[in-house]
Amino acid sequence: MELVLLLLLIALAWFWLDSMTKRERAILLGGELAARFNLQLLDETVACNKLWLARNGRGHVHFLRTYEFDVSASGADRLHCHLTLLGNQLGTWHIPPYQQPMN
Q: What is the mean pLDDT of residues 11-23?
A: 96
Q: Tell me the C-alpha distance between 61 and 54, whole Å.
A: 6
Q: Tell me the C-alpha distance between 67 and 47, whole Å.
A: 5
The DSSP call for residue 73 is S
Asked if 88 and 22 touch (Cβ cutoff 8 Å), the reply is: yes
Residue 101 has pLDDT above 90, yes or no: no
pTM over 0.85: yes
Residue 102 has pLDDT above 70, yes or no: no
pLDDT score recorded for residue 103: 57
Q: Which amino acid is at 55?
A: R
Q: What is the mean pLDDT of residues 28-45?
A: 93
